[in-house]
């Protein structure tokens, strides 16, 4: 949790249903909360058998939508959706006799060569074990599930993944997976139609061991930490795989192929590769593009012989989630200069078009995810997600997720709030709060100057929800880091952000940003609204594309190869750009003409 | 055990060192034996905590010789002994920096391509896990252990088996293994010199679950029988591997390659492939040539990433042990017509030369292994291995393994005994015992007519050691089956055994056969002594050849392909040939001119 168990952030609130506990006093909970059974887990001592409920509002329902309907995903390019490498072939063999004692495996190979021109077919021991019984149960008709070629061996040879008795051609399943630091997403794909037939998402089970990649890497480097983290994400994924399989009435053993996207750290942990070097200078991952491996090597809950392909990343902090985004957003086919961004704890960004791509990552810190901000919280029910500040009365009004009493402010709410305070004149271009305004909302608080967004009696937490000068400072640094990243990228290729035609925003967080407000604080470049496209989870979509199309698989490999990585910590212009961006909206107001106009008004 | 636990064969004798047991009476043990603590395990009830020793004389010491010396094995052909696919390469990488953030795996691949022209190098997850730590521990120098190409993929690509920190080029180890139904043999091979550096052998741990392949197959088809048998042979092999590794002061993890020979059933059980179909008409194995697989797939105790290559067999009853024999005996390079034979429970035989090969298997039954014969036993200490019968007095004299008092007669002793009885006139050409001879050694015994080889007071078992008419009948059928096999093979290609120039005898049993006597009973074709060569364990030797030489690997694949299998149960001349051979030496005495001459004398 953000505050590290000091009772400050309130994010660990639980409901004690029964049994004896001793609560330490905390300002985070109102007497009503306590009366309703709420307790901060980090401030509460269990003194006997207790029943505890983790309140549902702590889950990011909005972000983890699940659908029972088949989802039509349009491929944006003229690629053949049916050009994928998994095949089912039913084959009837001549039964053996004393006159033809060819062994089972040679008999199958012979027929695959004769009837389907498949030569040099490979098989593993676990599949070979099934052959004898399957042939006899199927009375010399079997269905072979084949992978015609692997990502790293496009010329083949074919490999048998499974052998089933009889003719079993009715279905062919696969999965696309996105492993986010926070959330994991699984799409169940019908390879015959190419459609996504079920989706499921949940928090990454590793969250309890650290919220960001750095804390996960540190955790992985101690004792059995790596195995533990690998086991935790596998539990989450296997639960999701079971869920989508159950939804379609199939066994997870029928899932014959998996393609995975995720950031570099997440893919190291997924594959059980030590990630330590990612966080140590000079920030080198063990592997940017994992080799193809069978699911059984990591205990992923699909057919154990199914191969797992991970998309290629390009650096420790620009991973496969970003190449997936560049692929599925269509950026890599754009003729016009395009900026792709994915903002979370880190802001990853790519600039370029169909001929060149340059990428960097800047550590925005967790401010926009609600940490490092006194009343920050995740975008769950009770979070203020949009704020308006009256520029005459300085009164605030706001919208809360779930239409509840507010409990805190989420990332999109913080962007909105800062922009409104700036435009209304509550803060100046350096972010300083003007304490001389004729309103009680600005005041010297416990943590220095602050602005009250919601009064205690309006809130669900029994205290004022305010934003402090320190909070604002953190947010300024976060938005400055992101904008400085854009600037350095453009400058490194002799361009400016004014040359950018399109801004593609990936990631769940991006979907909820108010672009106008993000421009007003100088976080996003000042472009007309129609230049922005919000694409949601571009990572799982990229995995899906690479799953259903060999062309897309080739293309994402090319994307990884054509993408140049710019290491900001080695770039001597970054610090200048960062300092220049530490103003609202920016030191150079000419970069924000629409904001300049607004300020003049 | 042969008698099935009925107290008749005496093969389960143990020494009760301490503790209460209740013995059932048995004729198999003398009072002295019992006084010395001997008990038949199958006839003894344990009535408390006991300490039991399995007597060393029950082990076939002579057959399972082990050597601590390096063994020089001469390759009979002009093949390059150093042309094997495992390489160690020490490589020093440029350390990474902010200016060169290439990931570890690409950095290694880059250097392998640049300095060693190795491209498209493959790696598995378990090896990739070692890369990051190894590079940093070795300060950017690592030793990669590579397999340059696999048996079934001679064009490559190379695959990394192991990554070690620093420069570790001093050694390179591999193992050749023979999995016999009775005994397992492991040779530890130094791939740098190509020499065998240690050997170990022991009984196959599956023996307790059935002595021959048929009983193992039946055992494997019930419950967890297959997994159990696989586990038992793996225990034996892993113990032997540890033993040879310890002898050379290395870890079994340093064994980077394994080549295995064995009969078809043994290789199915080794790989965990259901063997049921081998014993059912029309006798089809699942696979004659197993695909290459990593040791970790079956839990073989070498480096888990080491590949295991099994030699190719050609049929259910002509397995990889026979192709190994044809390879290592040099038969496949012979210009003259050659007969290769390997006699055990089954007699496998191959006829041909360097241009063609034809093989068959005949079920000789376990008579020559001491089973199905009242006083039969394995060739351990106490076994009569050679007999002389005086043709005037009909008195017998004999030689015993270990120079002890005899306990029974082993296979070579039985052949010797039959031949002597026949030449001396104790039995006629039909095998009938002449009860009218002036000697007490021929008599009507409990089981019908019999001939006493050793009187009770000479033996260690306190009773007469005799051979009965039923024993002789069993032996006649066994030798007739073998000779009929030879005849059918020759006839099938329009030749006769007279055309054969060389007879190569493989297998442990073969080493102890008295050829002259085997010819006299009509078991081996009537050739001059110098036509016969005794080669010992040609199976492990074949595995060793294929391990150290790609040429030999290719050659044994060719041998498997060029060898035609003749199914005797589908051959309508076999029964005629068998009946013709049910005489001493044969119905057609012209096939045994030396015996005819002897009989005349």
The answer to whether the B13-54 and B173-310 domains have the same CATH topology is no
Query: Hey, of A128, A271, A280, A314, which one would you mutate to test binding to chain B, going by the most B CBs within 10 A of its CB?
Result: A128
Give residue-wise pLDDT tens across range B273-283.
999 999 999 99
Residue of B nearest to A128 (CA): B273
Cα separation, B341 vs B524, whole angstroms:
10
Nearest by Cα to B331 from B498, B494, B563, B488: B563
CA distances from A316 to A93, A209, A219, A280, A294 (A): 51, 20, 17, 10, 24
Q: What is the ipTM of this complex?
A: 0.85
Cα separation, B343 vs B483, whole angstroms:
11
Of residues B409 and B26, which shows the higher confidence score? B409
Query: Hey, of B97, B101, B137, B309, which one would you mutate to test binding to chain A, going by the most A CBs within 10 A of its CB?
Result: B101
What is the mean pLDDT of the segment spanning A194-200?
93
Asked whether the predicted pLDDT for residue A58 surpasses 50, the reply is no
Reduced to 3 DSSP states, what percent helix, strand and coil does chain B have, rounded to the nearest 5?
35, 25, 40
Residue of B nearest to A135 (CA): B286
What is the mean pLDDT of the segment spanning B140-147?
98
As to burial, measured by CB atoms within 10 angstroms (0-12 exposed, 13-18 middle, 19+ buried), residue B57 is middle
CB contact under 8 A, A124 and B152: no
* 8 A C-beta contact, residue A363 and residue A370: no
What is the rounded average pLDDT for all residues in chain B?
90
Query: Hey, of B94, B100, B103, which one would you mutate to test binding to chain A, going by the most A CBs within 10 A of its CB?
Result: B103
CA distance B194 to chain A (A): 29
Query: Hey, of B110, B138, B286, which one would you mutate to test binding to chain A, going by the most A CBs within 10 A of its CB?
Result: B286
Displacement of CA A323 from its chain's centroid (Å):
13
CA distances from B324 to A450, B31, B70, B320, B552 (A): 86, 48, 22, 6, 10
* 8 A C-beta contact, residue B338 and residue B331: yes
CB contact under 8 A, B132 and A99: no
Task: Tell me the CA end-to-end span of chain A in Å, nearest whole number.
Answer: 42
What is the mean pLDDT of the segment spanning B543-557?
94
Nearest by Cα to A166 from A89, A249, A251, A257: A89
**Number of cross-chain residue pairs from A and B with Cβ atoms under 8 Å apart:** 137
Interior angle at CA A148, CA A144 and CA A150, nearest 5: 125
* Out of A131, A273, A274, closest to residue B286 by CB: A131
CB contact under 8 A, B291 and A133: no
- State what percent of residues in chain A have pLDDT above 70: 91
Stated pTM of the model: 0.85
Reduced to 3 DSSP states, what percent helix, strand and coil does chain A have, rounded to the nearest 5?
35, 25, 40
Mean pLDDT is lowest, of A39-48, A414-423, B428-437, B551-560, for: A39-48
What is the mean pLDDT of the segment spanning B142-149?
97
CB contact under 8 A, B272 and A125: yes
CA distance A150 to chain B (A): 12
CA distance A250 to chain B (A): 27
- Cis ω on the peptide bond leading into residue A421 (within 30° of 0)? no
Say what the pLDDT of residue B535 is. 86
CB contact set of A17 (below 8 Å; sequence gap of 6+): A37, A50, A51, A52, A53
* 8 A C-beta contact, residue A366 and residue A372: yes
Judging contacts by C-beta atoms under 8 Å, the chain B residues touching residue A271 are 125, 128
Judging contacts by C-beta atoms under 8 Å, the chain B residues touching residue A221 are none
CB contact set of A162 (below 8 Å; sequence gap of 6+): A127, A130, A144, A145, A253, A256, A303, A305
* 8 A C-beta contact, residue B584 and residue B431: yes
* Out of A128, A286, A289, closest to residue B132 by CB: A286
CA distance B79 to chain A (A): 27
Give residue-wise pLDDT tens across range B94-135.
999 999 999 999 999 999 999 999 999 999 999 999 999 999
Highest mean predicted confidence (pLDDT) among B76-90, B257-271, B396-410, B508-522? B257-271
The CATH code of the domain at B173-310 is: 3.30.420.480
Query: Hey, of A106, A107, A123, A132, which one would you mutate to test binding to chain B, going by the most B CBs within 10 A of its CB?
Result: A132
Cα separation, A95 vs A97, whole angstroms:
7
Provide the 10 A C-beta neighbour count for residue A336.
10
SS3 category, B406: coil
* 8 A C-beta contact, residue B529 and residue B516: yes
Cα separation, B45 vs B40, whole angstroms:
10
Give residue-wise pLDDT tens across range B480-499.
999 999 999 999 999 999 99
Residue of B nearest to A157 (CA): B153
Cα separation, A204 vs A270, whole angstroms:
11
What is the mean pLDDT of the segment spanning A217-238?
97
A433 — pLDDT class (breaks 50, 70, 90): very high
CA distances from A176 to A33, A190, A308, A506, B422 (A): 42, 11, 10, 17, 78
- φ, ψ for residue B334, nearest 5 deg: -75, 140
SS3 category, B380: coil
CA distances from B572 to B492, B567, B568, B575, B582 (A): 11, 10, 8, 7, 17
What is the rounded average pLDDT for all residues in chain A?
90
Of residues A69 and B469, which shows the higher confidence score? B469
CB contact under 8 A, B101 and A283: yes
CB contact set of A180 (below 8 Å; sequence gap of 6+): A204, A262, A263, A266, A321, A539
Architecture of B86-165 per CATH?
Answer: Roll (3.10)
Provide the 10 A C-beta neighbour count for residue B147.
22
* Out of B101, B282, B291, closest to residue A98 by CB: B282
Structural fold of domain B13-54 = Ubiquitin-like (UB roll) (3.10.20)
CB contact under 8 A, A293 and B125: yes
B212 — pLDDT class (breaks 50, 70, 90): confident
Give residue-wise pLDDT tens across range B366-395.
677 767 789 998 888 999 988 989 888 999
Say what the pLDDT of residue B174 is. 98
What is the mean pLDDT of the segment spanning A445-471?
94
Structural fold of domain A322-366+476-600 = Nucleotidyltransferase; domain 5 (3.30.420)
Nearest by Cα to A342 from A122, A108, A537, A505: A505
Highest mean predicted confidence (pLDDT) among A60-64, B488-492, B570-574? B488-492
What is the mean pLDDT of the segment spanning B564-577?
91
* 8 A C-beta contact, residue B501 and residue B531: yes
B61 — pLDDT class (breaks 50, 70, 90): very low
B33 — pLDDT class (breaks 50, 70, 90): confident
Say what the pLDDT of residue B26 is. 61
A365 — pLDDT class (breaks 50, 70, 90): low
Say what the pLDDT of residue B75 is. 58
CB contact under 8 A, B286 and A126: no
A56 — pLDDT class (breaks 50, 70, 90): low
* 8 A C-beta contact, residue A271 and residue A289: no
How many CA atoms are closer than 13 Å to the CA of B321, on its beta-carbon side?
33
Cα separation, A309 vs A291, whole angstroms:
7
> What DSSP character marks residue B315?
B
Mean pLDDT is lowest, of A97-106, A129-138, A381-390, B4-13, for: B4-13
* Out of A103, A129, A567, closest to residue B98 by CB: A567
Cα separation, A545 vs A568, whole angstroms:
30
Residue of A nearest to B568 (CA): A98
Residue of A nearest to B288 (CA): A103
Asked whether the predicted pLDDT for residue A287 surpasses 80, the reply is yes
CA distances from B243 to A469, B267, B379, B544 (A): 72, 22, 25, 18
Domain ranges of chain B: 13-54, 86-165, 173-310, 329-364+492-600, 367-475
Nearest by Cα to B429 from B339, B520, B517: B520
């Amino acid at each position: 949790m953000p505050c590290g168990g000091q009772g400050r952030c309130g994010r660990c609130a639980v409901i004690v249903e029964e049994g004896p506990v001793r609560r330490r006093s905390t300002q985070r909970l109102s007497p009503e909360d306590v009366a309703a059974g709420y307790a901060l887990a980090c401030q509460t001592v269990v003194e006997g058998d207790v029943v505890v409920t983790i309140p549902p509002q702590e889950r990011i329902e909005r972000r983890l939508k699940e659908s029972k309907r088949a989802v039509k995903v349009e491929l944006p390019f003229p690629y053949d959706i049916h050009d994928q490498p998994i095949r089912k072939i039913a084959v009837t063999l001549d039964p053996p006799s004393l006159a033809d004692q060819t062994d089972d495996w040679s008999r199958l190979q012979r027929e695959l060569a004769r009837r389907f021109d498949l030569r040099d077919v490979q098989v593993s021991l676990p599949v070979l074990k099934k052959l004898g019984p399957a042939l006899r149960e199927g009375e010399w008709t079997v269905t072979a599930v084949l992978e015609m070629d692997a990502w790293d061996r496009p010329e083949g040879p074919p490999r048998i993944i499974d052998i089933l008795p009889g003719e079993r051609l009715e279905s062919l399943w696969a999965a696309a997976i996105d492993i986010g630091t926070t959330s994991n997403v699984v799409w169940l794909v019908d390879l015959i139609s190419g459609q996504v037939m079920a989706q499921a998402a949940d928090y990454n089970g590793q969250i309890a061991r650290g919220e960001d990649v750095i804390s996960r890497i540190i955790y992985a480097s101690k004792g059995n930490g790596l195995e533990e983290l690998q086991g935790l994400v596998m539990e989450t994924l296997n639960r999701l795989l079971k869920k989508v399989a159950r939804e379609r009435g199939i066994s997870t053993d029928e899932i014959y192929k998996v393609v995975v996207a995720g950031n570099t750290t997440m893919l190291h942990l997924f594959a059980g590769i030590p990630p330590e070097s990612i966080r140590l200078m000079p920030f080198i991952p063990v592997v940017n593009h994992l080799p193809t491996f069978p699911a059984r090597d990591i205990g992923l809950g699909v057919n154990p012989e199914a191969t797992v392909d991970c998309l290629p990343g390009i650096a420790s902090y620009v991973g496969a989630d970003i190449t997936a985004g560049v692929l599925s957003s269509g950026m890599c086919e754009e003729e016009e200069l395009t900026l792709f961004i994915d903002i979370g704890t880190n802001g990853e960004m790519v600039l370029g078009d169909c001929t060149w791509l340059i990428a960097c990552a800047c550590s925005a810190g967790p401010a926009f995810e609600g940490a490092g901000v006194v009343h920050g919280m995740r975008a769950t029910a009770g979070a203020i997600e949009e704020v308006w500040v009256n520029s005459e009365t300085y009164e605030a009004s706001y919208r809360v997720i779930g239409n509840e009493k507010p409990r805190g402010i989420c990332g999109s709410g913080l962007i909105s709030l800062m922009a409104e305070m700036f435009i209304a004149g509550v803060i100046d271009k350096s972010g300083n709060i003007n304490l001389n305004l004729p309103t009680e909302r600005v005041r010297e608080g416990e943590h220095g100057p602050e602005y009250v967004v919601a009064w205690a009696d309006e809130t669900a937490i029994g205290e004022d929800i305010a934003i402090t000068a320190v909070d604002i400072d953190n947010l300024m640094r976060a938005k400055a880091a992101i904008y400085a990243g854009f600037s350095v990228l453009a400058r490194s290729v002799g361009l400016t952000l004014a040359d950018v035609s399109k801004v593609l925003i990936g990631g769940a967080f991006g979907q909820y940003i108010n672009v106008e407000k993000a421009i007003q604080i100088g976080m996003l470049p000042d472009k007309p609204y129609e230049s922005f496209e919000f694409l949601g989870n571009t990572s799982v979509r990229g995995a899906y594309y690479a799953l259903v199309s060999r062309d897309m698989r080739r293309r994402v490999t090319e994307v990884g190869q054509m993408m140049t990585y710019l290491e900001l910590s080695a770039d001597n212009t970054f610090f200048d750009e960062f300092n220049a961006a530490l103003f609202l909206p920016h030191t150079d107001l000419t970069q924000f003409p629409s904001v300049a106009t607004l300020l003049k008004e």
